[in-house]
Amino acid sequence: MNVPSRVSLNAKDLQLQEVSVTRKMSASLPKLRAAAEANGLPIHHLGAGYPHPEVTDPRGFIAHQNAYFEHLAAAEGNNDPAALPEFLREAYAYTDTLGPRQTREVFADVYGSDWQVTIDPDRLIPTVGATGGISLVCALFERPGVPLAYITDAPTYAGFLVRSVLTQSSQIFSVDMDSEGPIPEQFRAQILAARAAGFFVPFYYTVPDGHNPAGISFSTQRRLDILAIARELGVLILEDAPYIYIDYNDERPKPFLALDPMQTVHLFTGSKIGLPGPRIGFIYSDALLEIADQQQVPIADLLLTESSSDILFQNPAALRGFEGLLHKQDDAGVFQQRESLWEVAAKKLVVYRENRELLLDGLQEGLGDWPDEFHWTVPEAGFFSVFTFLRPDITTDDAFIEKLVAQYGVVVIPMYGFYPEDAKDRDPRAGMNQLRISFCFTESAGAARREDMRTAVAAFCDAIRSITGKQAKR
């Protein structure tokens, strides 16, 4: 009997990475749920950052997609009903890494119109959601012998934290934030400190609209301040824009892409505006990178090469389905390209805006009598608010989270896991007095959804008052 040989690995060449705080919480939830149920408690969802099922019912999307596919087949002008339409053959065959050109052209037109920026379809590279875009950009700069410093916010998206430190040669230099965004002076200082320590600094990663997890949106002036420093010091801005259409303001700030596409690498995902399952995303930039012999090449060309070595063939059927979302059907059944994706967002915003108001109203009613002890962000976009204990005796560690679930049935996410290690070096209690509260998800719809959200927020407030020894004054 042949015994398979063992692979010998030098431990110093490997490092075990922690999973993100959200995945850690998801893994522990079944046990905590069982403890809550044993105490006769329902579970109140204020932790998950999932798109709401009320606005992601796939049945309407599938029906719309099928009608759009019939429209594409008819547009080919083939009168043989038995013939395989060309678009359908391509949708289930090997295709270019860029995917169907028509999808890119339509998206470039609609998205560019929404944000007043000219988008070249040939520089639009499909990705597996925005997370796939993050991985692609990191992979582009990860080269043997090149120590990398990634600049990001403190706190920052857990998915970026996990991906950015997969190699031993990379390190995060984080920037603290205030209510308007990253602090410009520290942003500059961290770039210079990383370079002084011998690191190459390729980009600054951020989520400027509906920041996950910070629950803020950057002011226009702060965007301009950060952009000016990035230009001066030659650092790209990697702009993650999952919530760019989940915005609650009448006047919306321009994304970095619209402010300067030559300085920005922009990540779009269809998960929030469309459906999360198909994992449609695009990465776009007009930036030029200097390579060997001082030659400048579009970063899009380098990203395409990197993408083709990872995912040679995109999913053209899913991309065509997203293309259908970029079209609307009139009463006569005729498809026309949408003027704006805000038409799609409007239906979703009804649900998210209601949930947001229920959260903010409930927090004010339940905890507003103690402004010196509790604070929460008022999200202008996205799915999250950050709740902060202003008193020093509260620590939002794992035991605190477990107590919230097991004794009160309330699920939230602790903030400490969203802070990079250097932020914890600056402040050992970074995030240890904060919770991320999500208002996007319930398991119900309509009036039941609204009641579930009210009940969940009330349960959270009851729990916080109980833990901190407060009595409701109303």
What is d(CA 323, CA 388) in angstroms, rounded to the nearest whole number? 42
What is d(CA 321, CA 62) in angstroms, rounded to the nearest whole number? 8
Q: How confident is the model at residue 4 (pLDDT cuts 50, 70, 90)?
A: very low
Q: Does 35 have pLDDT greater than 90? A: no
DSSP E strand stretches across 108-187: 125-128, 148-154, 170-178, 181-182
Query: Which is more confidently placed, 89 or 449?
Result: 449
- Mean pLDDT of the region 351-378: 97
What is d(CA 295, CA 381) in angstroms, rounded to the nearest whole number? 40
| pLDDT tens-digit map of 76-128 | 888 787 889 988 888 888 888 899 999 999 999 999 999 999 999 999 999 99
Compute the half-sphere exposure of residue 298: CA atoms within 13 Å on the CB side of its CA. 13
What is d(CA 347, CA 341) in angstroms, rounded to the nearest whole number? 11
Q: pTM of the full predicted structure?
A: 0.92
Query: Which is more confidently placed, 34 or 368?
Result: 368
Q: How confident is the model at residue 19 (pLDDT cuts 50, 70, 90)?
A: low
Give me the pLDDT at residue 103, please.
Answer: 96
265-294 in b/e form (b: 16+ CB < 10 A) is: bbbbbbbbbbbeebbbbbbbbbbebeeeee
What is d(CA 125, CA 302) in angstroms, rounded to the nearest whole number? 11
- Mean pLDDT of the region 177-183: 97
Percent of the chain with pLDDT over 70: 92
Closest by Cα among 151, 297, 160, 164 to 229: 151
Looking at 73-82, 228-237, 394-403, which range is the least confident one?
73-82
Q: How confident is the model at residue 362 (pLDDT cuts 50, 70, 90)?
A: very high
- Mean pLDDT of the region 146-153: 96
Residue 318's alpha-carbon distances to 62, 274, 310, in angstroms, are 11, 11, 18
Give me the pLDDT at residue 167, please.
Answer: 87
Give me the pLDDT at residue 10, please.
Answer: 41
Give me the pLDDT at residue 14, please.
Answer: 44
Q: Does 461 have pLDDT greater than 50? A: yes
- Mean pLDDT of the region 172-186: 98
Structure-derived torsion over alpha carbons of residues 96, 99, 102, 104, reported in degrees to the nearest 10: -130
Residue 229's alpha-carbon distances to 55, 211, 350, 387, 423, in angstroms, are 39, 20, 37, 31, 21
Set out the domains of the chain in order of their start, with CATH numbers: 16-54+343-468 (3.90.1150.10), 86-325 (3.40.640.10)
| pLDDT tens-digit map of 300-353 | 999 999 999 888 788 889 999 999 999 999 988 899 999 999 999 999 999 999
- Which spans in 47-99 are helix H? 58-75, 86-91
| pLDDT tens-digit map of 271-310 | 999 888 889 999 999 999 988 778 899 999 999 999 998 8
- Mean pLDDT of the region 238-260: 96
**CB atoms closer than 10 angstroms to residue 468:** 15
Looking at 92-101, 108-117, 211-220, 228-237, which range is the least confident one?
92-101
Which residues, listed in sequence order, are joined to residue 414 by a DSSP beta bridge?
A: 435
Give me the pLDDT at residue 11, please.
Answer: 41
Give me the pLDDT at residue 12, please.
Answer: 42
Q: How confident is the model at residue 32 (pLDDT cuts 50, 70, 90)?
A: low
Residue 217's alpha-carbon distances to 276, 420, 436, in angstroms, are 22, 20, 15
What is d(CA 244, CA 269) in angstroms, rounded to the nearest whole number? 10
Residue with tokens 């204990």: 389
Residue with tokens 């339409």: 85
* Token couple for 207: 């989520």
Q: Specify whether the CB–CB gap between 344 and 327 falls below 8 A.
A: no
Q: Does 2 have pLDDT greater than 50? A: no
Q: Does 464 have pLDDT greater than 70? A: yes
Q: Does 449 have pLDDT greater than 90? A: yes
Share the mean pLDDT of the chain.
91
Q: Does 371 have pLDDT greater than 60? A: yes
Give me the pLDDT at residue 29, please.
Answer: 60
